[in-house]
Amino acid sequence: MASITLEGLKKTYSGDVHAVQGIDLTIQDGELVVLVGPSGCGKSTLLRMVAGLETITQGTLKIGHQVVNTLEPAERDIAMVFQNYALYPHMTVYNNLAYGLKNRGFKKEEIKKRVHNAAKILEIDDFLERKPRRLSGGQRQRVAMGRALVRDPKVFLFDEPLSNLDAKLRVQMRVEIKKLQRRLKTTSLYVTHDQLEAMTLGDRLVVLNAGKIEQVGTPMEIYSRPATMFVAGFIGSPAMNMVPLKYIQDIDNKNLSLNLPAPTDTLGIRPDAICLSPPESPHLTIEATLELFEAAGSESHLYIRLANSEQPAVIRTNGQPPQHEGEMLRVYVAHEALHPFDSRTGKRTD
Amino acid sequence: MVENRPFLDFMTHLVLITGVIVVAFPVYVAFIASTHEPDAFVRGVMPLLPGDNLIESYSTMLKSGLDIGGTPPVWLMLGNSLVMALIVAFGKIFISILSAFAIVYFRFPFRILAFWIIFITLMLPVEVRIIPTYEVVANLGMLNSYAGLTLPLIASATATFLFRQFFMTVPDELMEASRMDGAGPMKFFRDILIPVSVTNISALFVIMFIYGWVQYLWPLLVTTEEGFYTIVMGIKRLMATADREPAWNLIMATVTLAMLPPVLVVLFMQRLFVKGLTETEK
Amino acid sequence: MQTKRSTYQNRWLPYLLLAPQLIITLVFFIWPASQAVKSSVERTDPFGFKTTFIGLENYAQILADITYLNALGRTAVFSVSVTLLSMGIALLLAVCVNRVLRTSKFYTTLLVWPYAVAPVVAGVLWWFLFNPTIGLIPHLLDWFNINWNHRVSGTQAMILITIAAAWKQVSYNFLFFLAGLQSIPQPLIEAAAIDGAKPFKRFWSIVFPLLSPTTFFLIIININYVMFDTFGVIDATTKGGPNQATMTLVYKIYNDGVVGLNIGSSSAQSVMLMGIVLLLTFIQFRFVERRVNY
C-alpha cells in the first residue's frame, strides 16, 4: 500500500508537443482517483508515465516515499489493466495470471494459491484452462483484472478498462471494480473519458484538459461547484447550459438584481436547475420557445430557445410540459443554482 | 454468383478442366517417360501411356545415379537439396525475425540506416552479382560447402518486412503487459512474440523452403564436388548427356523426384502456402 | 518509420539482434555489388596480373555492342510476352474459379502447384515436349505442315522459353488474381446485376477496374520474374541460342562473365541491370506504399 505523488510532471514529445504540462497531484494511500477528460487531454499519457511505459520529461514521480522516475515498470510494484485487456492469446487463463508471478520467481505452490484465490474473487475459476479467444468480453475483462490482482501490487492502474464492453456490462463491471477496490483498499488510478463512470467510481476526480489539471475534487464537489467552464461542460449530462449574461432577461425584474462577482459574463445553468414552476427561493423568470420535447422514460428533455436571443438551452425534468412544440413557455432558475463564469479566462468567478 | 446461367457454368468448368490439364500435362508426360525403357525414345513420338520400367528407372537413379553424366545418386542430391532448403528457410526466418524485432521494438541510433541496408538486398538478386559474390565465397573458402550454398541467399528484406508488418499489428499492450509482468525484451520475444507469430513463421517457412529448393544458378557455381550437388542443378549435368545418349527415362525420373518434395509441400500446406505467398508479396 | 508506442531501452541489444542480417548483407550483397561497380570501370589483362582503371569504357563498349542491345530488346519482348501470356491465362482461370463456389478449393489446389517447380525443371519439361525428334508437340505441328526445330529457328526458341516461363508463373498470378477477386465486395456485383449488366459487361466495367491494383502489382512482379528467375528456363532449353536468339540480359551476364570470363564487361552489365532493378523496385514501392504504408 502506498500513496502516489506527482510533482511538476511533464511530458514533451519530439521537442514541441506538450502532452502533459506540469501536473501536481497526490493520491492518498487506498484512494481511487479517476483521471477524466476528453480524448487527447493527456490522461492516458499521465497514467502511462506512472506505469513507466512513457519516460518522464520533467518532474518527480514517487510511489510511497521512493522516487521511481527511471525504474522499469516491473520494478515499480504496480499492475495495470488495459483497455483491450492485452491477454496473451496463446496462454490459458491460468498462465495469463501466472506469467508475472513466474517471472518474479515465485514458487509453484504460491503461484497456484494466488491464481486460484484471484480467480475465485473474480469468479473466473471455471475458465482457468481456456484460452482468451474462447472467453466473452466480460470474462476477458475479469481475467485482465485477475492478472493485476494476483500480484498484490502497491498500485492498480486502469486504462479505460470498460470501454470495450457493451453498455449493460459496463455498468455491472463498474460496480464490481468499485466493490473490489473498497475491499482490497489498493491505491488506484483510473483513466476514463466517460464522465458518468468517473463520477460513480472515483473517491476523487481529476479533470484534465489539454495536458493540464482543470479541477481536483470529490465527484459532488466537482458537480456542484465546477471550477472552470470546461469542467462545467464536461461533467454532467446533458451538459450544463452556458448562457451569456446579456441574453438573460428576467421578466419580473427588468434590472437583473443578481449579486454577481466582477468579471462574470456567462452563467452556467444545469439542465435540471431550470424549472417549469417557480421555486420558493429567489429566482429568475425567463421566457422561451419550446423547440423539441424528448421523453426518455424516467426523465425528459426540453430543448428551448430563450426569447429575443435565440440562445438554445436544455431542460431536464421528469414531467411533461403543458405547452406544445413551437409555443412559448416560462422557465424559472433559482439564484443559488447559477454558476457565474468569466468566459475570457474560463474560470468561475465566485 | 448472382444469377443462374447453366451455359456459363458449363463453360466455366470446361475452361477450368482444360486449364488443369494443360498445367498438368508436361508433368504427366515426364512421369510417363520415366516409366519406360530407354529404347522407347529412339524413334517415333514419345509414349503417352505408362510403361513397365518404373521401379527400374527410379531405383537406378536413386541408388547409383548416371555414370556418364557424372552425377551422384539421386538420394544424395535430394538430401543436399533438403539440407539447403531447410538452412535457407530457417536462416532467413531466424535473421529476419531478429532484425524485425530490433527495428520495431527498439529505438536506437542508425535504426533507419539499418533498415535501408536491409532494403537494398531487394535490389540485388544473386543473378546480378554472380561473379563478385562467387569471389567472396571462394576467398572465404566456402566453395563446396553448405555454408557457401546457403549464406549468400539468406539475407531477406522480404521476410524482414513481413515480420515488421506483422509486429506492427501485434497490440502494443501485449508488450506493455509483459513489461508489467517483469519480462525483459528477450523474454517477451520468446514467451509472447514468437508464439503469436507461429502462423506467419510457418507460412513464410513454406515459401522460403520452396525458394531454397528451386535454386539453380547459385549451386551451379559454388559446387564442383558431386557430394554437394543439389537435385535441381544435378538435372543440368544429366542433360549434358541427353544429346549423346537420350536416357530420357532416367532424366525424367530425376525431374519427377526433383519436383516432388516442394510440390507436396504446396499441396499439403496449401493454406499456409497461400498465406505466405500473398503476404510476402515477393 | 514507426516503432511501437513504447520501446525497450537497451544500448547493445538492438545491434546484436541486427548483426546476423547486416553482416550477411554486407558480406554477400553490398560488398560484391560494390566490387561489381569497381571492376566495371577496370580492365584486367588476360593473365590477371594487371588491373587498369579505364573509366566508363566498358559501359561505352557494351552500349555500342549490338549483341547487348539485341539482348536488351529481346529481354523486353520476352518480359512482355511472358507477362501477358501468364497473366491472361491466370486471370481467366481465376475468374472461373471465383464463379464456381463449391469446387473452387479443388480447382485451386490443382492449379497452384507449379509454383513449386524449379524454373530449370519447367524448362526441361517443355523442352522434352518440344523435342524436335520425339516430342509430342512438333509431331502435332507436323500435321499443320509446321516444321518445329527450336535448335535452328530463333523465333521458335523464343516461343519455347516463353511458354515454359509462363507455364510456371500462371499459378502465382492466379493466386493473386483470385485473392483480388475475392476481395471485391459482393454487393457491388449484385448492384450491377440489378442495374441489368450482363456477366461479361459486369466483368469489364466493374470487376476488372477494381482489380487494377492487383494487375499493376503483378506486372511489376512478373517483369522481375522474367528478368531474373528465368535463367534456369533458358539454361535448360536453349542456352541463349540459336545464334543468341534467346540471350537475355541475365543470361548474357552469366555467359560473358562465367563462361567467357570477360569480367569487366560482365560487371558493367551487372551494374546496368542493378539500375533496372532499382527502377522496378522504385516503381513497385511507390505503388505498394499506398497500400502497405511502409
- B interface mutation test: which of C10, C15, C18 has the most B CBs within 10 A? C18
Residues of chain B contacting C118 with CB distance shorter than 8 Å: 213-216, 232, 258-259, 262
Residues of chain A contacting C6 with CB distance shorter than 8 Å: 48, 53-54
Taking the CA of residue C211 and the nearest CA in chain B, the distance in Å comes to 15
Distance CA B89, CA B213 (A): 9
Buried b (16+ CB within 10 A) or exposed e, C176-207: bbbebbeeeeeeebeebbeeebebeebbeebb
pLDDT at C292: 38
Query: Is-contact B178 B191, C-beta < 8 A?
Result: yes
Taking the CA of residue C9 and the nearest CA in chain A, the distance in Å comes to 10
Q: How many domains does chain B have?
A: 1
Confidence of residue C291 (pLDDT cuts 50, 70, 90): very low
Q: Touching check for A147 and chain B: CB below 8 Å?
A: yes
Residue of C23, A32, C213, A129 lying closest to B99 (CA atoms): C23
Query: Is-contact C120 B271, C-beta < 8 A?
Result: no
Taking the CA of residue A203 and the nearest CA in chain B, the distance in Å comes to 25
Report long-range pairs for C95-100 (Cβ below 8 Å, ≥24 apart): C95/C177, C95/C181, C95/C203, C95/C207, C96/B12, C96/B13, C96/B15, C96/B16, C96/B19, C97/B16, C97/C174, C97/C178, C98/C178, C98/C181, C98/C182, C99/B1, C99/B8, C99/B9, C99/B12, C100/B9, C100/B12, C100/B13, C100/B16
Q: Which of the following CATH numbers is that of domain A239-348: 2.40.50.140, 3.90.110.10, 3.50.30.10, 3.10.105.10?
A: 2.40.50.140
pLDDT at A26: 94
C-alpha cell of residue A336: 443559488
Neighbours of chain A (3+ CB pairs under 8 A): B, C
Q: Which residue has the higher pLDDT, A154 or B60?
A: A154
C-alpha cell of residue B94: 531466424
Instruction: State the residue range of the domain holding B84.
Output: 76-280
Distance CA B75, CA B62 (A): 5
Instruction: Please report the residues numbered 146 through 205 in chain C whose beta carbons come closer than 8 angstroms to any beta carbon of chain B.
Output: 167, 170-172, 175-176, 179, 189-190, 193, 199
In a domain, B207, yes or no: yes
Confidence of residue B282 (pLDDT cuts 50, 70, 90): very low
Distance CA A43, CA A124 (A): 30
Distance CA C231, CA C241 (A): 13
Q: What are the tens digits of pLDDT across the range A61-93?
A: 999 999 999 898 989 999 999 998 999 999 999
Instruction: Please report the residues numbered 133 through 152 in chain B whose beta carbons come closer than 8 angstroms to any beta carbon of chain C.
Output: 133, 135-137, 151-152
Instruction: Please report the residues numbered 201 through 240 in chain B whose beta carbons come closer than 8 angstroms to any beta carbon of chain C.
Output: 210, 213-217, 221, 232-233, 235-236, 239
Burial-class residue A222 by CB neighbours within 10 Å (0-12, 13-18, 19+): buried
pLDDT at C185: 84
Taking the CA of residue A107 and the nearest CA in chain B, the distance in Å comes to 16
Q: What are the tens digits of pLDDT across the range C247-277?
A: 888 888 888 887 777 777 888 888 888 888 8
In a domain, B85, yes or no: yes
In a domain, B22, yes or no: no
Using an 8 Å CB-CB cutoff, list residues of chain C that contact chain A. Answer: 5-6
- B interface mutation test: which of A99, A104, A164 has the most B CBs within 10 A? A99
Residues of chain A contacting B182 with CB distance shorter than 8 Å: 74, 100, 103-104
Residues of chain B contacting C35 with CB distance shorter than 8 Å: 132, 135-136
Q: Do B20 and C120 touch (CB under 8 A)?
A: no
Shortest CA distance from C9: residue in chain A? A72
Whole-number average pLDDT of chain C? 85
Task: Please enumerate in sequence order all residues whose Cβ is within 8 A of that of C160, keeping only pairs 6 or more positions apart, or say none.
Answer: C126, C127, C130, C150, C237, C238
Fold that domain A4-233 belongs to in CATH: Rossmann fold (3.40.50)
Residues of chain B contacting A74 with CB distance shorter than 8 Å: 179-183
Residue of C278, C249, C272 lying closest to B121 (CA atoms): C278
Domain boundaries, chain A: 4-233, 239-348
First to last CA, chain C: 7
Domains of chain C, each with CATH number or no CATH = 13-53 (no CATH), 57-292 (1.10.3720.10)
CA dihedral over C198, C201, C206, C211, signed as positive or negative = positive
Q: Which residue has the higher pLDDT, C290 or A217?
A: A217
CA-CA distances (angstroms) from residue A286 to A253, A275, B53? 10, 10, 107
C-alpha cell of residue B19: 486449364
Taking the CA of residue C5 and the nearest CA in chain A, the distance in Å comes to 9
What is the crossing angle of helices B248-268 and B231-239, to 10°? 160
Shortest CA distance from B265: residue in chain C? C116
Distance CA A8, CA A10 (A): 6
In a domain, B45, yes or no: no
Residues of chain B contacting C124 with CB distance shorter than 8 Å: 30, 235, 239, 251, 255
Phi and psi at residue A282, to the nearest 5°: -55, 140
Task: Provide mean pLDDT across the span B226-233.
Answer: 86
Q: Do A89 and B178 touch (CB under 8 A)?
A: no
pLDDT at C293: 34
Task: Provide mean pLDDT across the span A173-199.
Answer: 92
Query: Is-contact B235 B213, C-beta < 8 A?
Result: no
Q: What is the pTM of this model?
A: 0.86
